[in-house]
Each structure stands twice: as C-alpha cells, then as structure tokens.
Structure 1
Amino acid sequence: MVPLISVIIPAWNESRLLASTLEAVSKAQASAEFSFDMQLIVVDDGSRDGTGDVACAWADVVLRFPVNSGKGAAMFAGWQAASGEIVVFLDADLGSTAEKFPLLLEPVLRGEADLTVAKLPPASIPGGFGLVRGLAGRGVRLLSGYDSGAPLSGQRAMRSEVLRCCERKYQGFGAEVGMMVDAVRLGFRIVELEVPFRHRETGRTWQGWIHRGKQLCEVGLTLWQCWRKPAC
C-alpha cells in the first residue's frame, strides 16, 4: 500500500524562496526511489509579501493567519490539517535542496524510527556563537537523556502518532526542541541523519542577531515548560 505523506511548510514572508522550495518538493515525489502519495500544506503565518499567493500555485492546502503567530502555532495548524500517516516538516527557505526530503522518510518507512531529524552541512558563513544550539542541546539532554546532534533542525519526518501523543502546543522557535524532549520521554525512536539541505544564512547581521535572540528566548521558554509539565 502506498503511504500518504503530509509535507507541512510554515512560512512567514518567504515569497522569494518559497516557489523554488515547493517546486523541489513536488519534483521529489517523482524522482524518489519509492512510491508515496503526497499532501502539500503551506501555513502562511501572517505574511505581508504575497507568500500565501505563491503557495496557492503549488500546495494542496494553504492556511493563512491574519497576523504572525510564530512557528510553533504554524506547525500545529499544519498538523491539524494533515491527513498523512507520516508527517514531514520543512522550512520554507530550502530552495532546490528541498528535493532531498525523501531521505528523511526512509528510516520511518523501514520501521527503524518514529521520528527522523536532518543534520545539515556546516554553514558557509559565520553565524552566531552557538548559544542557542548549546542551550537547546543541553536542555534536551537534561530533560530527556538524549544527546542530540541537531536539536534545532526544522527538517524532520515522523509517524503521525508522535504528534498525537505530543499534545503540547509548542512556542515559536522552541517547537522542535520541545517536540524532541517529549518524543524521547514518551519512548519514541529518533534517528538523526545527514541530509544536504541548505537554507538562507543570516550571518552576523542585525537581522541575524535579532532572529537568534528571539530563538534563544523561545527555546528557553519551551524547555522551562517541558520541565514544569513533563510529557510523562
């Protein structure tokens, strides 16, 4: 039986790169070494640059938020609209490298993992100083015992059961970290694998510092929530 895969892409002001990402996702279905049906969902998180209009040309479902609500809220809304037995989350700015997403599906389809997480190649330009990743990695390890190599990765695939059991509504950029903590504590199997995705790099610019500062706050809040109210 051919599995149905729901691919969910949260997007905020990503009209410049979204079309190439969605085109690559569509090509991946035709070029993959195994067969699957696909439901493509884009969540336009209050964009002001026509992101939703770009999505309509490619996606099966486009959800539009009137205001920006954060990545966690967009991921949750996408999952609520998903019908697939396997759910894939991808960032909107992957461009042509999004075509590699079936690599995340293989361990799940073989029954070797319940959740797979992509480890991306090193950045080509200097970014932050590792504060957010360090906080995320230490938090996941302390709260679940799992030593993650990619706790912040937004590229992941999972059986829909994982999302049904992880009932928490995760906050903003802390969504991936919270999901990992809860999945481990609930006994799900995680496999991290290298996938040659590339996304936009902000580098050491004001935009990059603002993004990482917000990410640091939201990851910290999510870890506190996971500690205060464990999944099990």
Structure 2
Amino acid sequence: MTDATAPTPEFLVAVIPAYQEAATIADVVTRLRGTVPGLAVLVVDDGSSDGTAGIAAAAGALVLGGAANQGKGAALRLGMRAALTREAGFVATLDGDGQHRPEDLPRLLALAAPDRIVIGSRRGAPGQPAARRRANRVADFWISWAARHPVADSQSGFRIYPAAALADLARYEGRARGFSFESEILIDAARAGITTAAADIPALYGAALRRASHFRPVADIARIVIMVAGKLLARGMDPVGLWRSLRPPGQEKRDAPST
C-alpha cells in the first residue's frame, strides 16, 4: 500500500504477547503508541510472575490473559481474537522483549494489503547469531515450500496480518501453542490466497536485549519442520510448491508447470 492508503489506527490493532517482560514492556508499549498515535495496543500476559501485566497497563496498554503460561501461539491467538472483536482490519504483532523497534512499524504499514501478510525481515541485517540465522534459513526453506512462494524470515514475530488471514483461528486450538503457530498460519494463509511480503528491519540481539530469547533454535525448528512435513505429505510432497518457492521474489505469480 502507499502511505495514502495504509491502515489507519482506527483499523489497526497491535498485539504483543508477553512473558516475564517487566524490564522492557513499558518501553515497547510507550514507543509503539508514540509511533502510531491513537493505536490500540493489546498486551497478552502469558502467565508472567514479574509484574508484566501491571507495568503494561500503566504504560497505556489493554492487558489480556494473566493465567497459566500457555505459549506464544496461544497468547497471539487470544490477542488476535480480541483485536477482531474491535473490528480491526489489520493486526500488527511484535515481541515484548525489545527485539523489534516499534519505530519500524511504518515500514510494514507501507506494504500492508488485504491479501498480504507483511513480515519484518532481518535476513539482510547484520548481527544475527550464526546458529539462529542457520535455524531460520532452514525454517524459511520448508515454510516457503509448503506456502508455494518465497517467505523471508518466517520466524520474525514482527508482522501485520490482514483480518482475512485470522478468520479461522479456532483450527489451531489444542495445538500450535508455541512458535509453530506463526509458521503454520503463513502456510494456511498462502493456501487461501494470502501471500507474504518482506519489510527490511534491523536485527537486534545480544546487548540490545534485556533477556535471552525464549526461542530454542534446535527444538523449535524441529517442531516446525515436523509440522510442515505433515502438510507436504498430505499433498504428495508438492513438487510444484517446491519449484515455486525457489523462484526469485517477484516471480512467484508466473504460471507453474502442470503437475
């Protein structure tokens, strides 16, 4: 979208899943509200015991959750459902640990569209730990294959979802509680005609963060690969999807060879 048609605060709601983020959540909420004045910010407290909920509320966020820890996927879905009840046309998501700069949200807004999920991509930015970068590239390969188009930085939680991509959140209940939800929804959305676009953002790690990431490169990527493999097996490993996913970005809409 151009700036003239980018989502306005009345139609955009931000969702921040948060677990033990007392050190950073106020700064994230304050900066986000300052970047997009009038933006509704929903913080989903995923069972924190460090005062995250109260700090987020004091910073101006609407706080949801607060029960036992359910995992990032479950927290995101709770926030997304709440955003949709507010008639959001688009839902922005970002992490509460300071890994994403709220000031970069306009970069994502500039690409938002009703048939597109925008991902804040760190692939071209320096500073990402080597193990994390390798794990993310593995996930990108598999998710792009199942989604039938190139997906950049599939593990970035800084995104803008159109409401249409969130129309069937109930299908994920009882599973996809952790990081795999953010991968699975990209595949399911693509199969419904909602593809992805990448907005370049910095990679913030190390001293820029106040705590270690909850993401576990080996265990979490293994779960994601197993999930994707199940979807591919259901399609006979989808060789056309692999062909489409390996094409340079911008060419994925060309006709594919017949199966």
Tell me how many residue pairs correspond in the alignment: 220
Residue identity matched to 2:59: W
Q: CA deviation at 1:187?
A: 0.7
1:180 — aligned with what?
Answer: 186
The answer for unaligned runs of 5 or more in structure 2 is 1-7, 236-259
2:116 — aligned with what?
Answer: 114
Whether contact under 8 Å (2:89, 2:163) holds in the other structure is: yes
Q: CA deviation at 1:91?
A: 0.7
Q: CA deviation at 1:220?
A: 3.0
1:145 — aligned with what?
Answer: 148
Name the stretch that deviates more: 58-67 or 183-192: 58-67
SS state of the match for residue 23, structure 2?
A: helix
Q: CA deviation at 1:88?
A: 0.5
SS state of the match for residue 191, structure 1?
A: strand
Q: How does 1:124-135 map to 2 (within 5 A)?
A: 124=127, 126-128=129-131, 130-135=133-138
Q: Structure 1 101/157 Cα, relative in aligned 2: closer, same or farther at 3 Å?
A: same
Q: Structure 1 189/149 Cα, relative in aligned 2: closer, same or farther at 3 Å?
A: closer
Q: Structure 1 3/208 Cα, relative in aligned 2: closer, same or farther at 3 Å?
A: closer
Deviations, residues 77-112 of structure 1 (Å, cap 9, x unaligned): 00111131110011112278212212211222xx48
Q: CA deviation at 1:29?
A: 1.3
Larger radius of gyration: 2
2:221 — aligned with what?
Answer: 216
1:196 — aligned with what?
Answer: 202
Q: CA separation in 1, counterparts of 2:177 and 2:14? A: 20
Q: CA separation in 2, counterparts of 1:4 and 1:52? A: 25
Q: Structure 1 165/182 Cα, relative in aligned 2: closer, same or farther at 3 Å?
A: same
Let me know the Cα RMSD of the aligned residues: 3.1
Q: CA separation in 2, counterparts of 1:67 and 1:225? A: 29
Q: CA deviation at 1:178?
A: 0.9
SS state of the match for residue 118, structure 2?
A: strand
Deviations, residues 4-55 of structure 1 (Å, cap 9, x unaligned): 211000011111111111111011014xxxxxx4221000111111111111
Q: Structure 1 144/27 Cα, relative in aligned 2: closer, same or farther at 3 Å?
A: same
The answer for unaligned runs of 5 or more in structure 1 is 31-36
SS state of the match for residue 88, structure 1?
A: strand
- Identity of paired residues, percent? 23
Whether contact under 8 Å (2:30, 2:60) holds in the other structure is: no
Q: CA deviation at 1:134?
A: 3.2
